Amino acid sequence: MKQLRVAFFVLLLIQNYGILLHAGPNDGFVTTKGVQLLLNGKPYHARGFNGYWMMSVAFDPSQRDKVSTAFQDATKHGLTIARTWAFSDGGVRPLQSSLGSYNEQMFQGLDFVISEAKKYGIKIVLSLVNNYADFGGKKQYAYWALGKRRNSLTRIAYKDDPAIMAWELMNEPRCPSDISGKTIQAWIAEIAPYLKSIDGKHLLEVGLERLLGSSDESQLSFLDSWLNDHIQDAQNILHKPVLIAEFGKSLKLSGIAQRDQLFNTVYSTIYLNARGGGTAVGGLFWQLLAAGMDSFRNVYEVILSKNSSTAILIAQES
């Protein structure tokens, strides 16, 4: 993330891709009806956070309390959904050390994240691959393994687990050699049906992004118009729900008050649209950390037990 990022994610739910809407138990699958998300037949508003680090931290059983603490803090502040990485390909602590070769201990870390999310009533969005070299990048893939994986703790197959709300095709997909977007669109059209053939129960989203301007004033002005334009496009053209799945502001050059102002802009835009039955279904800030995770701090972190004004804002919006 640079000084500010708002990432835009359209939940990709196209009927000719064979998506099935299933009625689940009390903690059932999140589904769609028109431009709305539903959970057990009732409107579902996604209030959440990003925690990319969860699987890699849960790799070490002695550190898993940090995942539990993050979910506890989130639940206390009314958050109901988390987005995290389901990839770590090659390098140190890989999930996939080479094509088709998987690290069971890392998979057990992801098992723990999903089972712990279920315990706290939090839905999970799992990003399948990274656009960047970090954690392996787009040259490495784990689609088929995640589709076949059975959680070692709950014994539920990932494709049958309602704790998972959605799969994300890629974290921030880009094709610099084709700025028209046609290459990315063709890739989506190819890979989305494949994933739906493996798992017809979960939602699927793309992971697109947008970086904003440099000054606080220009950021907020652009952000307000960008959010409203994309929400309207989702409603009037795509006819799909839209989840603002990553937004945040660096504290390197700005203070907490400026960050809170940006958070409030995003939350208010989503709430006003949702209140009128619009297509905006929620937002997830970047990023939540538990106390004691200093090595993961990157000037975007929100530690709810320490950032009181931000914590109050998040709780009020939830």
Pairing of strands 46-50, 81-85: parallel
Is the peptide bond preceding residue 36 cis, with omega within 30 degrees of 0? no
Catalytic residue among 205, 209, 246, 317: 246
Q: Tokens representing 118?
A: 């279920």
Longest dimension (CA), the chain: 50
Q: Which residues of 49-83 are buried (b: 16+ CB within 10 A; e: fewer)?
A: bbbbbbbbbbbeeeebebbbbbbbbbeebebbbbb
Name residue 85's beta-bridge partners: 127
Residues 247 and 5 sit within 8 Å (Cβ to Cβ): yes
Phi then psi for residue 82, to 5 deg, are -130, 145
Told to judge if 172 belongs to the known catalytic residues of this protein, a careful annotator would answer: yes
Told to judge if 116 belongs to the known catalytic residues of this protein, a careful annotator would answer: no
Catalytic residue among 172, 205, 209, 317: 172
Number of residues written out for the chain: 318
Positions marked active-site: 172, 246
